[in-house]
Structure 1
Amino acid sequence: MSSHIHSLKVGDSLEVKGPIPKYPLAANQHKQIAMVAGGTGITPMLQIVNKLLSDPADKTKLTLVFANVSEQDILLKDQLDALTKAHGDRFKVQYVLDKPADAKAFAAQGGVVGFVTKDLLAKKLPFSAKDENVKVFVCGPPGFVAAISGSKAPDYSQGELAGALKDLGFEKDQVFKF
């Protein structure tokens, strides 16, 4: 998209659509929310985090598992770290990197080296599929989403639940794919 925008000349027009709400989220709607994001999949997750953390009446606990290739790929890291510092009782982030510059240093700082797997989610999600009033949001590249929760259907509806979350016992209504 950026190449297209850069190719536009003064006076050209560009149509923009949105915002298009995907999931109606209210304060205290869920006791806990886990978000599993890959790369630019952070976008809707940050909207959830900002919405709920900015509401003093909301008590939802939020956990973000954020996967990227390297440190340079972690979008909005400073903002996420600031939110964690300010709301550590309600918001936690787990960074996962495939190829950190220094794997030992990254792991020593609490990061996970590797990929988001069923075993990793079993360790890092703050709740299990058996807990009540919990939700898992998933967003990222198509292969990432397929591995975590199964792909969306061809008509872009939620599709069937598959992948790591299904293997962990989650039900379709506990998971939302952006």
Structure 2
Amino acid sequence: MMLARGGPRLVGRRAYGGLRGSASRTLSSKEAARRATMTRVKAKQHGGMQEDAWVPFTLSERTKVTGNTHLYRFKLDDAEDSINLPVASCLLVRARIGEEQEDGTKEHVVRPYTPTSSATTKGHFDLVVKVYEKGVMSKHFGNLKTGDSLEIKGPIVKLPYAANMKKHIGMVAGGTGITPMLQVAEAILSNPEDKTKVSLIFGNVTEKDIILRKELDEYAKKHPDRFEVFYVLDKPGFFWKGGKGYITKEMLQQRMPAPSNENMVFVCGPPPMMNVISGDKAPDKSQGELKGLLKDLGYTSDQVFKF
């Protein structure tokens, strides 16, 4: 009898353990389902884009902006969807265009890009890309044809922005480095509650290279007390009335907000420009040490952000 009573108790423990394992598996299944649902909800919020998974998007249009710069329009699955990117965020783009691996496939190359279309634009999003001779990804963009697709992930928030977090934001941009600046400026100027002033210095080689000039000039015209833009050209034409040569310490001193914890300066452009203005980012893409003209002018690392 004792053995008989002991037997069922032993079986009961095993049964309980089995039920507990089953419950654990059930909870795991529920958690997996919940996470899957949250992923779908987040993806829906961003037009099908996901923060932690690569999703292919199809190129629907390609439009020439300047000689070697094009606007690439990617369509969303639902024409009523928008990517709804937070302010000061970007997307990651990847393609197998790197070095060949042992299995014969090529390594993925990943690059960040900031959409130039509004976060609330329905049915598509736009990327403006300049093709550089040594730019692996930019040359890949240059070879894209309508109907081709690219794997994209995001949004990736670079700088958490809140309205009125600074009184005056200065921006120094070169070439396609204007794209994150436009995104932030648009968010500030479209928000009547945000009183932040924005001053932009935008450097390019020639006048024809100035991308998104129409949008920038419209902002300056519509918000003269809150937005100003100063164009600088390496190779200006005879009748050019803007800045000439490279961006100088004097230009920064005259047009950027004074060093202060109430102000901030954003910098984005090709490495040579970054090195002169603020020092480039660190190899791991962190902010790195503040150097260059901005450091010489008395700014601290807390007052400068490198996109």
TM-score (norm 1): 0.89
1:119 match: 250
> Which of 218, 222, 239 is matched with 1:86 structurally?
222
Give CA deviations for 1:37-93 in whole Å, capped at 9, x if unaligned.
Answer: 001100000001001101010000000000001100101111100110001110000
1:27 match: 163
Q: Does 1:148 align with 2:284?
A: no
Q: CA deviation at 1:106?
A: 1.7
2:258 match: 128
Q: Which amino acid aligns with 1:118?
A: K
> Which of 72, 97, 104 is matched with 2:208 structurally?
72
Give CA deviations for 1:20-53 in whole Å, capped at 9, x if unaligned.
Answer: 1101111100000000000110000000100110
Q: CA deviation at 1:8?
A: 5.8
Q: CA deviation at 1:7?
A: 4.7
Q: CA deviation at 1:174?
A: 0.1
2:288 match: 159
Q: CA deviation at 1:18?
A: 2.4
Task: Give the unaligned 5+ runs of structure 2.
Answer: 1-136
SS of the aligned residue for 1:52 comes to helix
Q: CA deviation at 1:146?
A: 1.0
Cα separation, 1, equivalents of 2:229 and 2:147: 43
1:47 match: 183
Given the superposition, is the C-alpha separation of residues 17 and 100 from structure 1 closer, same or farther in structure 2, using an over 3 Å criterion? Answer: same
Q: CA deviation at 1:10?
A: 8.4
Given the superposition, is the C-alpha separation of residues 39 and 11 from structure 1 closer, same or farther in structure 2, using an over 3 Å criterion? Answer: closer
Given the superposition, is the C-alpha separation of residues 69 and 12 from structure 1 closer, same or farther in structure 2, using an over 3 Å criterion? Answer: closer
Cα separation, 1, equivalents of 2:303 and 2:207: 30
Which has the bigger relative contact order, CA under 8 A and spacing at least 6? Answer: 1
SS of the aligned residue for 1:160 comes to coil
> Which of 102, 106, 109 is matched with 2:240 structurally?
106
Instruction: Return 13-22 or 90-99, whichever deviates more.
Output: 13-22
Q: Does 1:173 align with 2:302?
A: yes
2:173 match: 37
SS of the aligned residue for 2:247 comes to coil
Cα separation, 2, equivalents of 1:77 and 1:164: 26
C-alpha RMSD of matched pairs (Å) = 1.8
Kindly indicate which of the two structures has a greater share of residues assigned to strand.
2
2:113 match: none
Given the superposition, is the C-alpha separation of residues 14 and 146 from structure 1 closer, same or farther in structure 2, using an over 3 Å criterion? Answer: same
Moved over 3 A (4+): 5-13
Task: Give the unaligned 5+ runs of structure 1.
Answer: none
Q: Percent identity?
A: 58
Q: Which amino acid aligns with 1:97?
A: L
Given the superposition, is the C-alpha separation of residues 70 and 14 from structure 1 closer, same or farther in structure 2, using an over 3 Å criterion? Answer: same
Q: CA deviation at 1:132?
A: 3.8
Given the superposition, is the C-alpha separation of residues 106 and 171 from structure 1 closer, same or farther in structure 2, using an over 3 Å criterion? Answer: same
TM-score (norm 2): 0.53
